[in-house]
Structure formats: C-alpha cells, structure tokens
Structure 1
Amino acid sequence: MSKSLQGFATESRTVMIKPDRDLLTSSHWGTYRVEVQDGRVTGMRPFERDPDPSPIGPALVDLLDDPMRIKAPMVRKSWLEGGPGTAGHMRGQEAFVQVTWEEANRLVADELQRVRREHGNQAIYAGSYGWASAGRFHHAQSQLKRFLNCIGGYTSSRFTYSFAAAETIVPRILGTFRGFLNNQTSWESIATDCDLLVAFGGIPLKNGQISQGGLGAHIQRDGVLRAKAAGVEFVNISPLRSDIDAAIGAEWLAPRPCTDVALILALCHTLLVEDLCDDEFLARYTVGMEQFSAYLLGCSDGVEKTPQWAAAITEIPAETILELARRMAQSRTMVSVAWALTRQQHGEQPFWAVIALASMLGQIGRPGTGFAFGYSAMNNTGLNRQQVNYASLPQGKNPVAEFIPVARVTEMLERPGDAFDFDGTRYTYPDIRVVWWAGGNPFHHHQDLNRFRRAWAKPDTVIANDWCWNSLTKHADIVLPCTTTLERADLALTPKDRHQVVMDKAMEPVGQARDDHEIFRGIAARLGAEEAFTEGRSPEEWLRWIYTVSRQRAAAEGVEMPDWDQFQRDGWMEVPAPPKLTVMMEAFIADPDAHPLATPSGRIEIFSETIAGFGYDDCPGHPAWMAPAEWLGAAAPDELHLMSNQPHNKLHGQMDHGRVSQADRPDGLEPALMNPRDARTRDLSEGQPIRLHNARGACLATLRLSEAIRPGVVQVATGAWWDPDPDGDLCRHGNPNALTPDQGTSKLAQGPAAHSCLVRVEAFEGRLPERRAHQPPEIVPRG
C-alpha cells in the first residue's frame, strides 16, 4: 500500500496526512484502513480493533467511479425545458441533461425564491429521512436543514421509519424513549445476572452489523455468545429461526406475524391468575395495573386473555405459553422487543405490552434483567459505554412550524389542506411545492411505492443530493452530485461507540462531485445567505470547531480526548468503558421519588389517562390486542404473510449495486424465502422466478426454500432498488415495498405499518423482463 500521499487540497487549504500511519475511514458498517495507489483507493481492510468486521463497507471501493456514479449536475429534460411543474409524471422515465454547477445553483436558487415568494417556506419539504454518512460534519441532512433554516425554514418530518410508533408511545409510558434506548442494559450485565432472555423478534446479528455515526468494534456476536457461554437460555419468538444465530441453540417459537401482543397478553394473564406478579413492584413503580388487569380478565370487553385465547390467534400452543410464563417468573429474565414489531398496524402495542409484562415480573432496573428495545437492532445496543455529547454542525432554528409524521409523505402530497391526527392533536397537511432529499432514499423505505410514485408527480420540483443513480435520483428534477466519505475529510465522533475515528480524505472527488457543504454554500451565495450558512468558516475550520467543542464536553464528563494534532496523528482514540455496567432504569428503581419518570404520575404508566383521553379507537389507554386488517387470521387460503425485514448484505438500500449485495442474487432478483410446504401447494421449486402480488402492486423474486421460516409466511428483505415496469405496477428487481400498505400504525403515532401485509405468490412464466435498477438513466444533450 502506498503511503506517499503527503497532502491534499480542500476548499480551504491543504490538510496534511502524516506518512507514519495508514489512512482511516469510518462508516455505518465499521472502521477501515484505506489503501491508496496513485491517488486512487484500491482497498479497505478492517480496523484491527474490530473482532467481527462487516464485509459490506469495502464494497464501496468498486463503486467510486463505476457507471452508476453521478459525475456532474443533472436536470430532467422536460423540467429544464418547461420549468417547474412540467411533466411530473415522467419522473423516473425521462432522460437528463448535464449542466454546469453555476447553472444548477441558479436553477435551485431561482426555484426556492419563487416558491418562498408565492407559497411561503412551508411549501418546501425537507424531511430528507435516511442514514446519510458517518461523519460529524458532512452529514447531509444537517447541512440541508442548516441551509434551509438560513433562508426561512421548511416543513419537517417527525420521528423515524425504524420505530416511529415507539418514539410516540414510549414517552407516554416511561417519560422518554431515546433516553433509555441509548442506555440499555449491557451484554456484560446479561452474561453475569440473567438466566433467560426472551426475544420478541429475535436478536438478528445481521442488523447489528451497523450503527449510526460509525463504529469501531462490532460487539453483538461476542455479547450473545458470552451470554450463552455463561448459561443464559434464549427464546426466539419470530417467524424466522435465523433471527437468533444458530450457535445459540435458542428455543424457537414461531407465532403468526403481527400476533406478538396476543402472546404477551396471555403471558401477563398467566402471571396475574397464578399469583406470579411482583405486587410490591407494581404498587411502588407503576400506575394503571387495575385497569390492565380488568382487561386481561375480560371485565372490560368480555374476552379473557387466556393462553387458550392467544393460542387461537398466534398458533402457539396454550401449554407452551403457560410454561413460558412460569419459567419467566421463576428466572432472572430479560425481555427484548425488536424494533420491527413497531412497523405493523397497531405497532404501538408490542412495546407497551412488553413494558407491562416486565413490570409484572418486577425485575426492571436490576442487573441483567427487565426489558430492552431490541438487542442487535444496531451494534450499540447493549454496549457498555460512557455517554459523551459530542458536538455536531448546528442546524439553527426552523421558523416553520408545519411538520408531518415521517411516514405520511404520500398523504401530504395527495391531500394538501386535509387534517390528520397525531399524538393527541389534529394538524393539517401543508401544500408542498418543492421536495428536497439529501442523504436518504424514500423509494427504499416508504410503503406502497406505486401509490407513492403517483403522489411524487405532484410537487413542482424535486431536488436530490446523492452520489449514484439510485431510484431517488432517477425520480428527481435536479440532481446535485455529492462526494463519498473517501473523497472528503471528516470526524466520526459518536456516542454510540467507544472508538472515535479520523476520517481521512483518501482521493479527489470523482468528476464534478462536491461535498454537501460546498453544494449548499454555492446556492446560499446566490441567495445572499453565504455568511449565515458558513459563519465565515471553511470545512476544516468547522471540523476543528466541532472537535474543540466535543473535547470540552468530554472533559466535563470526565473523558480525556487528545488535542487536535495528536488525534490527527493517531487517527483514532477509544473512550474507556465506565467502571460500572449499564443497567437501564437503575436510578429510578433505586429511588423513584428522587428519580421519577417524566410521566404525569412519575411512574411506569401501564394505563395512561392521557392516551385514554385522546379517544382513539385504534389506541386505547392500556396495551391491547387489535387484529390488523391484513394478517393470517384474515387471509384467503392462497394468501401468505409478507415479512419485509432488513437485509443482511447492505444497510437499507445503500450499495445495493455493490458486490456483497450482488453476490446474493446471481440472477439479479431479490431472494424470497418460503417454507417447502407452501411451495408444494403452489407447485413451486427452489431457484425459480416467482411473482408476488396484491392489489397494491407486484414484484419479482427468486424462490429459496427453508424449514427455518414458519408456514404461511414469505420473506423478502428490503433494499433492492425499486425498478418499476413503465407499463404496470411491477417491480422487476424485487422491492417488497411495491406490496406493503401505506397506512399509519394508529392515530397516535402514524408510523409505518409495512409488516401488516398479505400477498399471493405464483410462478413467473415467460422471459424475465430487462432490469434497469443498476443502469444509469439516459443523458442527452440540451435542446
């Protein structure tokens, strides 16, 4: 590997790379040493501190200058010729024209001025949801939102696709969600003080490959294996056996999808009627058990939530439910609930029900036990770490009050001026004229993509900052090409990992790509807002400012960070683990009067007077079973339940065209996992192309058979770039969001409900259509 690269130019000045260390970068998949030859990145090898590195990150090397790279500003042809509002229905089907950065900046600035003048800043939607980059400064959404706040603001989105239902309801129960999410009981505590870990939704190690903001060392596999070696027993409650690693030897209970709440309620019923509850815990630390007990016993609705009742819903035998409840009461028990369980109709209920179950067991706040929000949902879950509030790019204050729940984009575009409910208040959808996305891809994570695409035609202008021709950029009007993490300098300072890493600039930008800060600086200059946006700082000066403030904050929390020059020389540092193992809610349990929860009662609210007061018919005042519109209990004989879970070979849709993702589908189609019993009834066989369809759309996939998925279920991971057939509603590539329903979890949270989805599956007959997901659009000359 060459170490001859002595320095490189940025917008400000030369930043020196010391010859006595290799270049480093960090990403959501891990930290890597970067190999460079003749100014080009030739390889990325795992960071020596990482015991279980992900193979996904190094796939970026092949994509830096491949045909899908966007190398210059681009404008959709008819928009360029006809102006804003021209042929929005042609987004995704039309050629692009290359323009200069000067013209791109002028087009964007003029359109922003027009929309602000004629409609106001609330007509600009910059939800821009997505994972963006690991760097603390070059974080696309922060740059976008800072820029827009400098010119009057924008309509925003609230919460995340990952767990919007939990983000809304858990603060009503515990006073905060993020506060506990970031301080969950550590794996070391589980290994020392837990007997039984019951995992609703499993502990999928594939999800633990990633962490927001970058990571230095993967800990999930080691954590679960150490717990197993220490004698902890595991129960995997999921339609997929693989949701806990085979090496763990977990007991597998495979309920019908979207029925976990019924199972949890039956466990609670057993604890109640067999006098296995911790009554002292409930009296001291919770409120609302009386109302919840009445519901469990059927006093409030005439239906007793017995194991027999739950067995008919879940297809888990009643005796199994009884035995599990007794075992949980007799053991030191941790209950984990996966984030995926929020992404269903009534997705608020699983987290609420698990909190109620753990409260009845009375083991919350003790070492190794209680409840957790999804071990291995990300790498940082269960990591014993010192919390440091590192600085980031200040976004400023958004003067615009309008917002939408994050997953209600389609309704916003379809129904401007209509009312919607959210968390106890009624709001109105704004009239959006400009959509701007930077650092994400709604055509990956949104549901019912055919409906979404029709709504996407409505705005006057769609702007996208991105580095490759994915489904978002193909459906934009103005495309602003940005750099990758290897083409700019940054800092991976994250409270979610102990390792803090210098992200070196390893190569010059490909083509005319610019980092997001430079993109917005250029547009801000045309709008007279350059000084407000940059504050007179260059990118390097911003990095130094971020590091200086972070170092000061760390010192206030007892963490010593090296000075800037030493950090640049070393390339990384590790924050020492705290001397005491993390136990979630420990302070509250030790003294609930001195450390009350931020709820109306100061206690865990098993029944919430506040939520009950909203009067929502789809979210009552206590955990409850409400059957979703689409589930196996309401399915036709030939329907299957679709599970569209997270992929193992990419992060959402990032680098779908990379070698790791491509290796999993030699025929170019996303795999679909099915039980052999279901395949036989449909006369299907291993490896053949299949068509999954419902009233919302269809997608193609390649069939894979396994006994490790329960009958009645078909699984297709998300992340395949959407590749719609222009003449129909078929995704030729295998994106399951062509099929998933676009509906809110409830009036409370309005989160995504992708997992409440029924489909039919049949053999695909004839020649497979040409797939264009990994082909760039046509680029044509002007005029």
Structure 2
Amino acid sequence: MSITRSTFIRSIIPGAVGLAMFPHLARGASGSGGVVDGRVLVNTSIGPMFLVKKGGKVVGVEQLKQDGEPWKLLGDMPDRLYNKARVKAPMIRREFLKNREKSDRTDRGSRDFVEVSWDDALKIVSEEMQRIKTKFGNASLHRGKSSWASNHAHFYRTEALLQRFLNGFGGSSTFFGNYSNQAISEILPAVAWSSPAAASDWPVIHQNAKLMVLWGCNPVATTRILSGRYATHAWYEAKKRGIEIIAIDPMKSETVKELGCEWLPIRPNTDVALALGLMHTLLTENLQDKAFIEGYTKGFKDFEPYLTGAKDGTPKTAEWASGITGIPADTIRGLARKMAGTRTTIAGGWSTQRQHHGEQAPWALVALGAMLGQMGLPGGGVSFGLHYADGGYPRPTMPVVGGISPGTNAVPNPFPIACLSDAYLNPGKTIECKGRKITYPDIRLVYTSGGNQLTHHQDTNRVIEAFRKPEVVIVQDPWWSPSARFADIVLPASSDLERNDLGQTLNLITAAHAAVDPLFKSRTDYDILTELADRLGHRQAFTEGRSEMEWVQFFYDAAKAQSKAVKMPDFDEFWAGEGIVEFPAGKGEFVHLADFRNDPLLQPLSTASGLIEFVSPYVGKLGYDDCPAHPTWIEPVEWKGSKGADKFPLQLISPHPPLRLHSQMCNTETRKSYTVADREPVVINAEDAAKRGIKSGDIVRLFNDRGQTLAGAIVTPDILQGTICLHEGGWYDPAKPGEKGALDKYGSPNLLTLDVPLSSRFAQATISGTAICDVEKWKGEALPVTAFDAVG
C-alpha cells in the first residue's frame, strides 16, 4: 500500500480529534510550505495562480494558462505576502489594555498599541466576549463585515467561518445585503428576473448582437479584477467581430479607450432620465415592440401616462432628458432609433444603482428593454452581469465545491449592511425595509475578520464616530488596514497564501496550497477561532473534529461524488499532483430569458405576475414615496441641481479602481505605477481645473461638509465637466490619527460620500455614487503618506 502525506499524518495521530488538536502539524505536513524551489498553486481573491519559490521564499508569480487575459497586479503577490504593513504579532491598544471597557474610546485610531502574547490576547478576547454575553446578551455581540477578504475561498470564507464560531457561542447580531448590488438585488426580482448576474453566453452575443450599449460599467477594468478573466477577452472579441459598442458613462473609461467605442458622457445620477427619454422616443415614433409588451409585460398602460406627461404634466421627451443628463436631444433620439433598428444588448452596470433612489435605474433599463422587445432573443435584451469576471461564461457541467457552513444564528433580525454606522450609533432605533420593521441591536462588541470598514463604508467621519460606540472592537487581519488601526485588539491572521483551501474558477477546481507557513506570529483564522472556541466551550461544535486539511478533503470528496463529466482523482493524488481539475467548457448556447420568451406561462419570472412589470402592484402597495410603483425620475439628494451645489459644484464618482480589488492590494508595489505625488489620482476635467489653477501632478484637496482628503491631480478632457473621479478603496490615512474630521492624506473618497439617506425604504442600499464636493490646489506642505507603515 502506498503511503501519502495525509495518510501518514492520520496514522501517527489517531482519530480526527487528534488532528484538530494539532492544526499546525496537519497543515505543515499537507500543504506546500515546505517547497524550497519550484511552483506552488494558490488561490486568492483575484484568482488562482502559481507562486514561484527560490530558497524557500516566494519570489514571483506564474499565471494559469486557463485564466484568460494577463493582469499585472498578479505580480504583486510576493510583496503582499511580505509587505511591511503585515500585522506581525497580537496587539492591544494601550488604553484598552489598561482600562478595558472603561477605556477612552476617542483614543481608537491613535496607533498606540502594545504587543502581547497569543495566550494573553485570546484570554482577553474570550473574557470580553463572555462578559458582553452575560451582561447584555448575544445580540450585543456583532460580526463585522468581511468585505472581499476570501471571496473565492471555500473553507476560509471568513464571514461564514467567524459566524460559525459566534453561532456556537449562542449567536450574534449581523446584517444582510452588500455594498455592490443591494438595490438591484432587491428590486429586480420584484419587477423582472431573480439574478442581477444573469447573462447570455458570450458566443451567442458574439454571433448575433450588432450593437452593445454599456450603461454605467467599465468591463475591461472590472473583469480583470476578479478571477477568471475570460470576460475581459470576450469584450475585445466583441470589438474584433465588428459589434458596435456605445458607452454611457461620466468618464472616458479604460473600456472606452481600449475598445475605441463611442462615448456618451452623462451627468452622474441621471440614468433614469435618459432611459425615460429613450422610451418616450420609442413610444412617440411608434418604435416599441407592441407584441412583446402585450404578451410578456404587465402595467404598460398605467406607465404610459407618466411617460407622456398626462399624469404629471411633464412629457419625458428627449429634450427634457437632455436638460437633466447633458446628452443632446438629437443624440438621445438617434440612440433610441438605432437600438430599435438592430439586435441590441444593453449591458448595465451596478454603479447606476449605488445612487439615491438606486432601485429606479435598473428598473428603468428593464422597462426600456421591454419596449425594445428583444429580451430572450440571441444577442438582444438587458443584462446586469456582463461586466463581471465570469459574466457570459458558457456554463460547464461540473460540481459545485461546497464551503464552510455558518450554522444557525439564534439572534434574529439582521439589519441592512448600508445601515452599519446608523446601527452602531442608534441602538433601539426602528427602520423600515421592504415592508418590514427592523430594530437595531445594542452593539457592545464588534468582531471582524478580513474586513476594512474604515475604508469601505461611506462617510468615514461618521464611521469613526460609530467605531467609538462599542465597548470592544476586535479585528482579525493580516495587514494594518485602516480598520485594524481603529481596533482595541488586533489578531494577526495569516493571508490566503499561508493556508490550505480549494478554489473553483470558471471550469476549474484547483488546489489552494499554503505557499509558506504562517509568517511572523500570525495564525490561520481556523487556528485562532478553534482556540477561542475551546476557551468558550464549543470547540467540538465548531470543528466537528476536523483539521484544516480534513475540511479541505471533505469539500473535495463531496464535489468528486457529484462529478459526472470528469472522473476526478482521489484527493491525495489531486493534492500532491498538479492540483487542477479541468472540466469541458459549456456549449455557449444559453440565451437569457429564452425559456420565458418561448413560454411565459410555464416559464414565469420571479415577479408576482410572472411577467416583466412596468408597474408593480407589490412595490406600489408599500406606499413609499422614495420608491414609487413604476420607474420614476426623482431628483437625488445631491446633484448639480440640488441645494448646496453652488457651494460644492462638482459631482463625485468613485468607481472600482483598475489596479486593486476595492481596498485590497492598495498597500503593494503596483500602487507606485498609478499614484500621483504618492497619492490616489483624482481625475479632473480640464476646464474645471483651469478655473481653479490646477494642473496635472498637483496635490489637491477635495472637500465638502462631511470631510476632506488630499489626492494627486490628473487633468484631462476625458471626464464630463462638473464631474470629478476618485476611485474607491484608497486606504484612509488621517493627518491626525484617531481624530474625527482630520485631513486624509492619501485619497479615500468615502471622506466625502453620504451615509444617510440610503437608496430608499425598499432596499436601504448604499448611495456611494451620490455626492457633491469641490477641489482646490493644496497650498500646504506635502504631508508624508503613512497609511502603509507598520504599527508598533
């Protein structure tokens, strides 16, 4: 009988419980940390890749041939692993260590930490958790948002893993929804179909579409960010095949420049007005598909009076839309005619719904698509998933790799994630969301693993105020992120390059080896939470007697049992071998909504009527003035026509950055390739810059009544006048650490964005795309950037 590494380990430590008691031994024996020279297959939030090792150290990266378009950010993995901003040991804020719950919470963010032993750190964590539970109940324990820390992990899904640990302790308060697409995720199933990521296969689009309208998305950039850059290539292929591409966007994006497509600059937050102007043109020129409207939709006759102005006295003409959007009326009419006259795919992005009344824009695009009548036809219709990495990827026949289960949370009533600061600051407050009443818990202890709310959440100064409310803040992270700096207790978690897991990308199942053993004094999330569970009395429930490697094998074996198209190797062979199981790609024949179009009665949509709804009785019954019963133009709280626009005349957009994943990788070497004056670049229209005496390369200050931040100016005609772009995810770097209202030295746009109000009472989603500000040339000294330095 052949002896493999894992069978050897199981032979010397009897029973699964033995492995769980020695997780470091099991991981070291079964991972690839022992490779001195060679390649190690890993899986990260930006996809699988090989890390190249020499002399036991990671020195380079080799991209998988199956991963699609190359992307230079992958090369930052060695720097990410050994980065100077790594948390090297357990750290506790000095004031908290001295006074615990009576500590001065305004001291959070001061960066005054003391190194402690793991035993002392976990002792204090378990004591504080027990104290809060005993005194206030489990609802006062709160699991923080984990952002994108382990989006492509299966065992190390940090949100699920942490929630599993908390559930074993009796549960915790938590949240629902996300920052990416909450508004569309709530409104779309109510008025159209269920998934915002649904899309036709790219081969169908390539063979049949004649026109693609990109509406509020930058797919060449966003598809590179995530694993499986298949869709990046697909967009280049669309251009190569001669498909006409038109981009509706306030800025001339990477997609516009690289594909050479037509750019229609639009004022931010006015997408609904443009859609209504297009629909009015279709109606008045008799270009609408009457048969599709009659057979597949509901409520058009009730929507038509709003469109024509019979209901409110304002016809939604192209001229009316032009006055709001800034797009010429003739251009709007011409686009409507072109879309009606040819096979058209509307590729909607999620930026249009991260706005005040964000439910309206996707609904308006659905209504526009319904009037065009091409839904369910090859190369036609509306999709909100083609800007995503695997959007349009032909579906392979392959098993789904499972992941760690969080278990059952005994604490009810989660709140919307966009209400995070509001919930911390206002315990007992009741809000409404889609007809439900939600009361905020009294949050006393926050525990976050792999999250960065100080950069991620809107209105940073309000987040700082919110972070001062709980008695205890625990952050478990590999790096000194802005959120870690505002914690009381910082536990150094190993990165995704220092732990074992599985990956599933496109048509691949991959091994995710620990390239090296946990660096410095870091431990894996599983090791940390296992020891805490042991101290709090629920170790067995948390681990189920499995080590890290036994969980990995458990998920692999479950997928292997489902596999029909490919005979997957046994786990030991898979893990010790290449570590890649490739499945046949799909045929590329899927057409979104084709089944519905063929038989709307037997293949209904997720709506109450089973049809696409111009007017929704369900939405209308709620009676929300901020989310009416049909797509409606409602002025956002902040825009060029709002109160305060004279003082702050520039509209801020903060799209996804092209060279990091939100705030991840902001601390690595690639940053030097795009920063200006060592700060985040801010894109300013040439005329706006000239009025303010700003030129490219200048340090500038962006400001409004919520906050202020420095950035480096890029002056260009490639952004609409009156609009300014500062990409999201830049690490918050206050000139006066811990001080609310301090000047941010690096360039985080959330110093300027709105936290309240939210989209509407329907979705309670973020409106990070709705903000006004101004910019001026910075006349002070060039303050040094310290966001990426180690603490302690």
> When the two structures are superposed, what TM-score results if normalisation uses the length of structure 1?
0.94
Q: Which residue of 2 aligns with 1:28?
A: 45
Q: CA deviation at 1:289?
A: 1.1
1:196 aligned partner: 211
Q: Which amino acid aligns with 2:743?
A: L
Q: What is aligned with 1:114?
A: 131
Give secondary structure in 1 for the equivalent of 2:65.
Answer: coil
Counterpart contact for 2:201–2:588, Cα < 8 Å: no
Q: 2:336 pairs with 303, 316, 325, which one?
A: 325
Q: Alpha-carbon deviation of 1:374? A: 4.4
**Corresponding residue for 2:12?**
none
Aligned partner (choices 742, 755, 759) of residue 729 of structure 1: 742
Q: Distance in 2 between matches of 1:433 and 1:733?
A: 31
Cα distance in structure 2, aligned partners of 1:566 and 1:581: 34
Aligned residue in 2 for 1:575:
583
Aligned mates of 1:441, 1:202 — CA distance in 2: 24
1:515 paired residue among 502, 510, 524:
524
State whether structure 2 residue 186 is matched by structure 1 residue 168. Answer: yes
User: Counterparts of 1:50-449 in structure 2 under 5 Å?
Assistant: 50-133=67-150, 134-177=152-195, 181=197, 183-211=198-226, 215=227, 217-376=228-387, 378-386=388-396, 388-449=399-460
Letter in 2 for 1:762: E
Please point out which of 549, 552, 556 is paired with 1:543. Answer: 552
Q: Distance in 2 between matches of 1:551 and 1:298?
A: 59
Q: Which runs of 4+ in 1 moved over 4 A?
A: 5-9, 16-21
Q: In 2, distance between residues paired with 1:235 and 1:739? A: 30
Instruction: Name the aligned partner's letter for residue 155 of structure 2.
Output: F
Cα displacement (A) at 1:21: 7.8
Match of 2:665 in 1: 655
Q: Distance in 1 between matches of 2:126 and 2:175?
A: 23
Asked if 2 retains the 8 angstrom alpha-carbon contact of 1:23 and 1:35, the reply is: yes
Shift of the alpha carbon at 1:587? 1.7
Contact 2:224-2:232 at 8 Å conserved across structures: no
- CA gap of 1:545–1:107, structure 2 versus 1, over 3 A, is same
Instruction: Return the match for 1:622 from 606, 622, 630.
Output: 630
Asked if the contact 1:722/1:735 (under 8 Å) is kept, the reply is yes
Following superposition, the deviation at residue 580 of structure 1 comes to 4.4
Counterpart residue type for residue 15 of structure 1: S
Amino acid of the residue matched to residue 774 of structure 1? F
1:772 aligns with 2:780: no
Q: Report how many residues are paired.
A: 762
Q: CA RMSD in A?
A: 2.0
- Which amino acid letter does the alignment assign opposite residue 574 of structure 2? F
| Aligned partner (choices 603, 612, 618) of residue 604 of structure 1 | 612
Deviation at 1:638, TM superposition (A): 6.0
CA displacement at 1:169 relative to structure 2:
0.8
The residue aligned with 1:501 is: 510
Give the Å deviation of 1:85: 4.5
Secondary structure of 1:700's aligned partner: strand
2:19 corresponds in structure 1 to none
Q: How many Å apart are 1:511 and its aligned residue?
A: 1.3
Write out per-residue CA displacement over residues 348-394 of structure 1, whole angstroms, 9 at most, x where no aligned residue. Answer: 11110011111111111111111110422x31112112374321111
Task: Tell me how far apart the structure 1 counterparts of residues 120 and 413 of structure 2 sit (CA, whole Å).
Answer: 31
Report the secondary structure of 1:632's partner residue: coil
Alpha-carbon distance between aligned partners in 2 of 1:642 and 1:437, rounded to the nearest angstrom: 29
CA-CA distance at 1:248 after TM superposition: 2.3
User: For the Cα contact (< 8 Å) 1:722–1:733, is it kept in 2?
Assistant: yes
Distance in 2 between the 1:675 and 1:736 partners? 17
Map of 1:692 onto structure 2: 702
Number of the residue aligned with 1:703:
713
User: Is the deviation greater in 311-320 or in 221-230?
Assistant: 221-230
User: How far is 1:308 from its partner?
Assistant: 0.9
Whether 1:565 aligns to 2:572 is: yes
Supply the AA of the counterpart residue of 2:637. Answer: A
Which residue is 1:755 aligned to?
A: 769
Gap change, CA 1:337 and 1:47, over 3 Å in 2? same
In 2, the alpha carbon distance for the partners of 1:372 and 1:761 equals 36
Looking at structure 1, the residues matched to 498 and 353 of structure 2 have their Cα atoms a distance apart, in angstroms, of: 37
Determine whether 1:466 maps to 2:477. Answer: yes
Query: Identity of aligned pairs, percent?
Result: 36
Within a 5 Å distance, the mapping from 1:468-487 to structure 2 comes to 468-487=479-498
1: CA distance, partners of 2:608 / 2:567: 38
> Cα offset for 1:147?
0.6
AA of the residue aligned to 2:183? A
Counterpart-to-counterpart distance in 2, 1:582 and 1:463: 46
Q: Aligned-pair distance for 1:598?
A: 2.4
SS in 2 for 1:692: strand
User: Once the two structures are superposed, what CA deviation does each residue of 1:7-50 show, in whole Å capped at 9, x if it has no partner?
Assistant: 99944262165989832112232332211123221211222333
Structure 1 position 582, deviation (Å): 2.3
Letter in 2 for 1:757: A
Does the CA-based 8 Å contact 1:311-1:318 persist in structure 2?
yes
User: Match for 1:349: what amino acid?
Assistant: Q
Query: How many Å apart are 1:637 and its aligned residue?
Result: 7.2
Quote how far apart the aligned CAs of 1:246 are: 2.2
**Code of the aligned partner of 2:201:** S
Greater CA drift, 449-458 or 49-58? 49-58
Q: Give secondary structure in 1 for the equivalent of 2:95.
A: helix
Which one-letter code corresponds to 1:145 in the other structure?
Q
SS in 2 for 1:730: coil
For 2:66, what is the secondary structure of its paired residue? Answer: coil
**Using the alignment, how far apart are the partners of 1:293 and 1:491 within structure 2?**
52
Quick one: distance in 2 between partners of 1:114 and 1:696?
A: 36
Kept in 1, the 8 Å contact 2:655–2:726? The answer is: yes
Tell me by how many angstroms 1:611 deviates.
Answer: 0.8
Question: Structure 2 unaligned runs (5+)?
Answer: 10-22
Q: State the distance in 1 between where 2:125 and 2:74 align.
A: 33
Give 1:175 shift. 4.8
**Superposition deviation, residue 719 in structure 1:** 1.6
- Aligned 8 A contact 1:203 1:375 in 2: no
- What is the rounded CA distance, in whole Å, between the counterparts of 1:481 and 1:645 in structure 2? 30
- Going from structure 1 to structure 2, the CA distance change for 1:142 and 1:382 (only over 3 Å counts) comes to same
